[in-house]
Structure 1
Amino acid sequence: MQPRHRRPRTALFSALVASVAALVAGLIAWPGADRADAAPAVFVHPGVTVSKGQLDFTKAKLDAGAQPWKSAFDQMKAGKYADLNRTPKPRATVECGSYSNPNYGCTDEREDAIAAYTHALAWYFTRDERHAKKSIQLMDAWSAVIQDHTNSNAPLQTGWAGSSWPKAAEIIKYTYTGGWANEGRFRTMLRNVYLPEVINGSNSNGNWELTMMEAAIGISVFLEDKASYDKAMAKFRTRTAAYIYLSSDGALPKTVPSQNLDTREKIVKYWQGQSTFVTGLSQETCRDFTHTGYGISSISHIAETSRIQGQDLYGTDVGERLRQALGFHSKYQLGEAPPSWLCGGSVERGLGPVTEVGYNALHTRRGIAMTNTQKLTEQQRPAGSNNLFVAWETLTHAENPS
């Protein structure tokens, strides 16, 4: 019902309304105000971390016997994840405590998901149908059984496994013509078991939420769920800004509002006691490089998925934070002694096979010099798997311009 008496709007009042509306819109959109992170009008498939163009580039290199792709493929084929005799080990409830203790199905789930992705890649590169069928068998086994994740590590565990499942599913659904009868059941599994566990994020260390958003975004692509994609991407943008520091952020790192890190003391504690903030530093640098690597990896995977879907995050602050974090940690991973102001003069190395995707995007495609990252990436080739959610990225992304 319209109000009985309506006062005419003055020009000043109209301008004020417009200004407030613009401010609110800006606040809602931060940090993706350019909407470079919005879900595409039509999703691209396969489109989770690796595209058809990238797969075709690698296949051509393999057909020619070129390096480093041949050695990367040989490494993958020789490992346990490509075993055609692998027997899936699904559980109705996967229970994972801190550091996977207790471990009731945690390793089995993660490794079956990586194996499904591995066989999907092996199918594409060899056209041996046995690999496609094995990937389907693994996905079907879990979609027939799993109902829940429990205990303290449930969100992280779901993120790890949930990052690999859609990568496998995307390749199988959109490149294998032999049929997948239980695809609908697999979709239901992702929708009902995985997505609700990860979509709302986490206030734990930053690698948790980044991995969870990687899973949520990959699942959203496979499900073609624009609302979940946008929700996960907004959380990802906020968390990335709060995970890797740039000097342009100011005297203190950005924070995730829900964590209420509203004093310097709280921020320093959350940053593992680190009180000197320099460009490229991560929230978990002074914890160890391994967990930092998890966060860096998820940032690169999400940026890559977003690029495939038509939205380039590498040209935003995401790309700059990724570039700086890669360079900063690669330098110390290569052996340079840390200064006394950094983690008390001692860092725990172990970055893992996590540099290839970001390095390829920023160096190969965008032409940015990344001396330390290049040295570490080439030194670590062929990059294998971290047995959690990272696998075969020299094979899929080395020098890949697609």
Structure 2
Amino acid sequence: MRRTPLLAAVAALLLGALSAPAAHSAPAAFVHPGVTVSAAQLEFARTKVNAGAQPWKGAYDQMMASKYASLTRTPAPRATVECGSYSNPNYGCTDEREDAIAAYTDALAWYITKDARYAQKAIQLMDAWSGTITSHTNSNAPLQTGWAGSSWPKAAEIIKYTYTGTWANSARFSTMLRNVYLPVVIKGSNSNGNWELSMVEAAVGISVFLEDKASYDTAMAKFRTRTAAYVYLASDGSVPKTVPSQNLNTTAKIVSYWQGQSTFVTGLTQETCRDFVHTGYGISAISHVAETSRIQGADLYGTDVGERLRQALGFQSKYQLGEAVPSWLCGGTLTRGLGPITEVGYNALHNRLGIAMANTQTLTQNQRPAGSNNLFVAWETLTHGDNPS
């Protein structure tokens, strides 16, 4: 029987699923640096910046002009970081997140310039916190742990595996990640989906740095479940998939959890009708985990994860670009503000796999160079913009 293109695609997907290892399984050996950005991607960015090529040189200049790249930055660690709802109270919340982003920024600056002062500054920031922090507290503690815990391993991976100087306290930093961050983020969350996705991103990155296969597997399994429950595809059925522990066992409960949205269309996310800022957090975390997984040898972009990411990016990008909001969507009103979160997914899906993503492409190119959201996203035009590596 002659196969239709659809049947052929389904057959290829099934064949790949049968022949590939479980998509959430840890690799036999972890790849380093391998949290969101690989050695090849770093080298590509470095080559482009040194050649003065755009958009990478502009992205690099933006990063180096930011407060995060300052060699005079003074770390501000606390033993207990207390973060309430929307960081109120804010006792060390901003300091921790921004010091973690600064460490990652300095690590990138080190790799591109090979100026050891930046590696040493990243080490100073990581050492200050690893020698001080013991816990997070108050209502936003899990999310705060996820945000900061997403940036720390990205910085540490670059320093540990590309800097030839001394990092005397690297073992202490590992202990901080294992004892202060990992036990919190590995539990996940039953709050809005961006919480668990950010926490899982941190858990995956930390597991790579610690070479902890069991934690990696646990985090990736949570990621697959949460991603399916965060982005709707028509193939899911009449209502979105759910996370079993949330007991969203009626349509009414699901609609309430999806911010009152009762019409479900492909690409809609659980927080679209809340606002695009939080939606962007969730989409970003999905792209970061997918990218880390690809680097570690299990390419999720060809699974439902990639399809959900593609559709979520396209759906949100369309409205971020100004398309009129229909009355059935969020009561006809959207709160935009997606943030600098499209580069990683767009590069993987469009540039690497050749999938058309017109709205995401327009938004990505309009936003270049993508900066930082001052929480856990930073400099992704530099690291992932049109990066074939």
Task: Please report the TM-score for the alignment, with normalisation by the length of structure 2.
Answer: 0.95
In the alignment, the residues of structure 1 paired with residue 28 and residue 187 of structure 2 have an alpha-carbon distance, to the nearest angstrom, of: 23
Distance change (3 Å), C-alpha of 1:139 and 1:246: same
Aligned to 2:325: 338
Where in structure 2 are the equivalents of 1:2-401 lying within 5 Å? 35-401=22-388
In the alignment, the residues of structure 1 paired with residue 59 and residue 139 of structure 2 have an alpha-carbon distance, to the nearest angstrom, of: 35
SS at structure 2 position matched to 1:164: helix
How far did residue 179 of structure 1 move? 1.2
In the alignment, the residues of structure 2 paired with residue 385 and residue 378 of structure 1 have an alpha-carbon distance, to the nearest angstrom, of: 16
In the alignment, the residues of structure 2 paired with residue 99 and residue 175 of structure 1 have an alpha-carbon distance, to the nearest angstrom, of: 36
Q: Which amino acid aligns with 2:234?
A: S
Gaps of 5+ in 1: 1-29
Aligned pair count? 371
What do residues 24-67 of structure 1 show as CA deviations (whole Å, max 9, x unaligned)? xxxxxx9xx96122100000000000000000001110111000
Gaps of 5+ in 2: 1-16
In the alignment, the residues of structure 2 paired with residue 372 and residue 36 of structure 1 have an alpha-carbon distance, to the nearest angstrom, of: 29
In the alignment, the residues of structure 1 paired with residue 87 and residue 46 of structure 2 have an alpha-carbon distance, to the nearest angstrom, of: 36
SS at structure 2 position matched to 1:255: coil
In the alignment, the residues of structure 2 paired with residue 105 and residue 85 of structure 1 have an alpha-carbon distance, to the nearest angstrom, of: 19
Q: Which amino acid aligns with 2:174?
A: R
In the alignment, the residues of structure 1 paired with residue 324 and residue 342 of structure 2 have an alpha-carbon distance, to the nearest angstrom, of: 20
Q: Which amino acid aligns with 1:259?
A: Q
What do residues 305-336 of structure 1 show as CA deviations (whole Å, max 9, x unaligned)? 00000000000000000000000000000000
In the alignment, the residues of structure 1 paired with residue 143 and residue 23 of structure 2 have an alpha-carbon distance, to the nearest angstrom, of: 27
In the alignment, the residues of structure 2 paired with residue 150 and residue 187 of structure 1 have an alpha-carbon distance, to the nearest angstrom, of: 21
In the alignment, the residues of structure 2 paired with residue 35 and residue 274 of structure 1 have an alpha-carbon distance, to the nearest angstrom, of: 34
Aligned to 1:23: none
What do residues 91-124 of structure 1 show as CA deviations (whole Å, max 9, x unaligned)? 0000000000000000000000000000000000
What do residues 187-230 of structure 1 show as CA deviations (whole Å, max 9, x unaligned)? 00000000011101000000000000000000000000000000
Q: Percent identity?
A: 81
In the alignment, the residues of structure 2 paired with residue 231 and residue 391 of structure 1 have an alpha-carbon distance, to the nearest angstrom, of: 26
In the alignment, the residues of structure 1 paired with residue 173 and residue 221 of structure 2 have an alpha-carbon distance, to the nearest angstrom, of: 26
Task: Please report the TM-score for the alignment, with normalisation by the length of structure 1.
Answer: 0.92
What do residues 167-198 of structure 1 show as CA deviations (whole Å, max 9, x unaligned)? 00000000000010000000000000000111
Q: Which amino acid aligns with 2:22?
A: R
SS at structure 2 position matched to 1:149: strand
Q: Which amino acid aligns with 2:64?
A: K
Aligned to 1:9: none
How far did residue 390 of structure 1 move? 0.1
SS at structure 2 position matched to 1:314: helix
Q: Which amino acid aligns with 2:86?
A: Y
What do residues 275-297 of structure 1 show as CA deviations (whole Å, max 9, x unaligned)? 00000000000000000000000
Of structures 1 and 2, the larger Rg is shown by 1
Q: Which amino acid aligns with 2:372?
A: S
Q: Which amino acid aligns with 1:359?
A: Y
Q: Which amino acid aligns with 1:378?
A: Q
Note the aligned Cα RMSD (angstroms): 0.9
